[in-house]
Amino acid sequence: MYLVYVDESGDTGLVKSPTRYFILSALIVHESNWNKFIDDIIEFRKRLRDNYKFKLREEIHAAEFFQTSKKYDHLEKHIKLQICKKTLDFQESLDYIQVMFIVIDKQSVSAGTDVFEMAWKYLLQRIHNTLKKGNFDGLINEEDGYETNSKENFILIPDKTDDKKLKQLAIYMQH
For 113-143, write each residue's pLDDT tens digit. Answer: 999 999 999 999 999 999 888 888 777 777 7
Confidence of residue 151 (pLDDT cuts 50, 70, 90): confident
CA distance 86 to 94: 13
* Contact (Cβ atoms closer than 8 angstroms) between residue 109 and residue 118: yes
Mean pLDDT of 98-103: 95
The model's pTM is: 0.84
Lowest mean pLDDT among 66-70, 90-94, 121-125, 151-155: 66-70
Domain ranges of the chain: 2-174
Confidence of residue 34 (pLDDT cuts 50, 70, 90): very high
Residue 144, pLDDT score: 67
- The whole-chain average pLDDT of the chain stands at 87
Residue 145, pLDDT score: 64
CA distance 86 to 60: 11
Mean pLDDT of 21-34: 94
